[in-house]
Amino acid sequence: MIRIGIELNHVVRNINKQILKYYHKDIDPSLDLEDIDEKDDAFKYAKFETLTDKNEFIYIDYPYEIFGCAKTMTKDIPMLMNNWLSELTNYEDDEVEISFFSLNEDSLTIQSTYFFLSKIGTRVRKIVFPKKFEDIKNDYDVVITGNNKLINEYLKGNKNIYTILISNRTTKENENEESVNAIYDSLETVIKDETLLDNLHKFVNDKKDLKDGETD
């Protein structure tokens, strides 16, 4: 089985736009949203004096607006994802399991995320809310992420996970990291890559053969 974990934020869900929208509305009306690239790190512009202030904004003041009301990174992602899930059932070389995961979520954001998933009509059967990076180590063979911190603090040097990086302004520094197996500019290009599944199948089987050899 090929177990693929897709991180929601910055891959499926555009929370940057929501963060900037409500920061502009509630904290800094002078912020010029038209001059900001939505793929850039929102917190380069949405600045808070303390981590407490930042967390209060995200998890108390606007969890529903940020996590529940966000749009997908592109309008075609829901349709492409559902078509992909259907196509994966016909992949003859291996069984493929897709799930979503979302890090750093709390009570109000979790229920908002369920609303987001219902809103986009996803048919992915599983969603995981890991409490820390290490919690994903046994869940996936493949991780699709645009999360700079996840790559640098956990996936870097981890040869048991095939890392697919969705490149954006916050991940440029990682594009030559050995821990990154493949780089795409969007989830759409991942789905449309006809060579991807064969590459993942080979990776998973090579990993299994290595583990079996160590056992012997």
Q: Where are the domains of the chain?
A: 2-13+73-107+114-215, 14-68
Residue 189 pLDDT greater than 90, yes or no: yes
| Residues contacting 213, CB < 8 A, separation 6+ | none
pLDDT at position 174 is: 46
pLDDT at 34: 84
Mean of the per-residue pLDDT values of the chain = 87
Q: Give the pLDDT mean for 127-143.
A: 86
Q: Residue 186: what pLDDT?
A: 92
What is the pLDDT at residue 49? 93
- Higher pLDDT, residue 209 or 70: 70
* Maximal CA-CA distance, the chain: 65
Helical H segments across the chain, by residue range? 15-26, 51-56, 63, 77-88, 107-120, 148-150, 187-192, 196-215
Pairing of strands 2-7, 71-72: unpaired
CATH no., domain 2-13+73-107+114-215 = 3.40.50.1000
- Residue pair 145/4 in contact (Cβ under 8 Å)? The answer is no
Q: The whole model's pTM is what? A: 0.88
> How does pLDDT run across 51-109, given as a tens digit for each residue?
999 999 999 999 999 999 999 999 999 999 999 999 999 888 889 999 999 998 999 99
Residue 38: CA count within 13 A, CB half-sphere: 17
